[in-house]
Structure 1
């Protein structure tokens, strides 16, 4: 391994190298060399490497292109900060790997914020377990003679304004004694995302339908 300062000294005209028999110039240049370039002995990045790494702080997934455009993904500690950049406030509900995907995909949805499409797509981005989302803002048609089923699709009295029903199909991945607890935790996270994404003046009823089909959990807000 070359002595500190050799890289910069070798870039100077030969007259300077020849006159530096005592090594003063080499040692002086060594200070700048360790600052500017990577210190392989201590495995510390230099200024050049730090500047090259800056794009990675803004990319949750990283890039793998040909040099010099490749960079690593942002560190986990930067993810909450990046989440605030895309106005995703419930970031604490997700693991770093989940949050990376959400941050990378949420920005294009903001043109449809407040719509049914936005809520449906956001839920699918946030939860891999969700297999289907159906939102109905007119789930009850009232009393129709010959068609109505009492207690299922009938409505007496005035309708609830700005109210919708959301049905979510969930692919169940775990089983066991803690399933009820896991379902409750999952429901709370889903509600947090719905509350984040829905228009503030609306209310809703949430129905979670877990697979297999004979296991259905229905929750009402």
Structure 2
């Protein structure tokens, strides 16, 4: 690849683990004809391995050995689609006794192995061969010359298993491609085990697994709840059981449904978005009761409480569902009232 005027040198930025000499598939013409099955084709030139969709680079080093300015034009001809390769140049002129680096960027589509367009009897082409042509014009003389270099492009899926083999076996390309078959079969199961925690968390588990997780905590699936609310309720089921029949448990349940704040930092109950007030009183006790303040003529309502909700946005609270929650959570002997304040908007 040397010349009296222009010297070429190719350097791959990704070093392959194996010498890529095997070829699979059929080409369209003599230039792209590739050997099948047990045959191998060896092409002289620089080798680059591409793992879709990861990018790969090759640096073309150019050196002007002459005494005149050279005007350059670099192009790549091969049996792969032109959009796979981009050429980056520092300029189009190379001064005498100076050097220039041209970068060739290769990147294949992410679905290269998933959606191949193959005809009947054809196999997926994995080995591509091309040549880099550097056309240059010598300033002053007008002479037009060309230098070429071979380039072999090998498309391989990224594989994990060869790294567990001794180095001597990693040097055989066939072994890497053969192990990839088993990797594609077993790796999904291995990845599932690595993220098993996500399958057991109601917030990240697949929707089809939610009934199973709900059964674990004996939580009934109610289709009136949205999917997001069901996830919150299943995750909080044990805590809801722990506080069932208490004001804290009822407030938490309503919070999980309506998304109204718990307001734990607010001391006064009447100032909270979910206000639950208990009606308390000693009744009529002679000598201790003040009419109009702590006594009620005609009797009171023992074990009675009032729920007042203050929504923050329209349609945030469904009264029928809130009543269902209260009926489910309150002690059987308690009575209650519910009020939903009107939403105030600034016009």
Category of TM-score, reference length = shorter chain? 0.5 to 0.7
Partner Cα distance (2:221, 2:324) in 1: 7
Q: Deviations over 1:148-200 (max 9, x none)?
A: 8xxxx6545xx667x422222232522xxxxxxx69x811101111122123x
User: What are the superposed Cα offsets for residues 2-49 of structure 1, whole Å, 9 maximum, x if unpaired?
Assistant: 65796535643356567x79x5x6665343221223xxxxxxxx2221
Superposition deviation, residue 212 in structure 1: 4.4
Residue equivalent to 2:265: none
Which of 234, 237, 242 does residue 111 from structure 1 map onto?
A: 242
Aligned residue-pair number:
176
The residue that corresponds to 2:129 in the other structure is none
Residues 1:35 and 1:188: Cα distance change in structure 2 (over 3 Å)? same
> Which one has a larger percent helix, Structure 1 or Structure 2?
1
Alignment of 1:187-198 (within 5 A): 187-198=319-330
Q: Do residues 122 (structure 1) and 275 (structure 2) align?
A: no
Task: Map residues 205-216 of structure 1 onto 2, 5 A cutoff.
Answer: 205-212=336-343
Structure 1 spans left out of the alignment, 5+ residues: 38-45, 62-72, 175-181, 214-221
Q: Residue deviations 1:195-215, cap 9 Å, x none?
A: 22123x3242222131348xx
1:178 is matched with none
Aligned equivalent of 1:51, options 177, 193, 206: 193
- The CA deviation at 1:56 is 0.6
* Structure 1 match to 2:304: 164
Deviation at 1:126, TM superposition (A): 2.3
Task: Trace 1:1-221 onto structure 2 (pairs within 5 A).
Answer: 1=51, 3=156, 7-9=160-162, 11-13=164-166, 23=174, 29-37=179-187, 46-61=188-203, 73-89=204-220, 91-129=222-260, 131-136=273-278, 138=280, 141=283, 146-147=291-292, 154-156=297-299, 163-171=303-311, 173-174=313-314, 186-199=318-331, 201-212=332-343
CA distance in 2 between partners of 1:6 and 1:127 (Å): 48
> What's the Cα RMSD here?
4.0
In structure 2, distance between residues paired with 1:167 and 1:17? 71
CA distance in 2: counterparts of 1:139 and 1:188, whole angstroms: 30
Report the 3-state secondary structure (helix = DSSP H, G, I; strand = E; otherwise coil) of the residue aligned with 1:93.
coil
Higher strand share: 2
For residues 305 and 160 of structure 2, the distance between their equivalents in structure 1, rounded to whole angstroms, comes to 69
Contact residue 6 and residue 30 of structure 1 kept, 8 A:
yes
Distance verdict in 2 for CA 1:14–1:134, change over 3 Å: closer
Shift of 1:57: 1.4
Assess, with a 3 A threshold, how the Cα gap between structure 1 residues 128 and 51 changes in structure 2: closer, same or farther.
same
C-alpha distance 5-13 of structure 1, shift in aligned 2 (>3 A) = farther
Which protein is bigger by CA-based radius of gyration?
2
Does the CA contact (< 8 Å) of 1:142 and 1:155 recur in 2?
A: no
TM (norm. structure 2) is: 0.40
- Looking at structure 1, the residues matched to 304 and 322 of structure 2 have their Cα atoms a distance apart, in angstroms, of 15
From the superposition, tell whether residues 17 and 97 of structure 1 become closer, same or farther in structure 2 (CA, over 3 Å): closer
Work out whether residues 278 and 304 of structure 2, in 8 Å CA contact, stay in contact via their aligned partners in 1: yes
Partner Cα separation in structure 2 for residue 6 and residue 104 of structure 1? 38
Offset at 1:55? Answer: 0.8
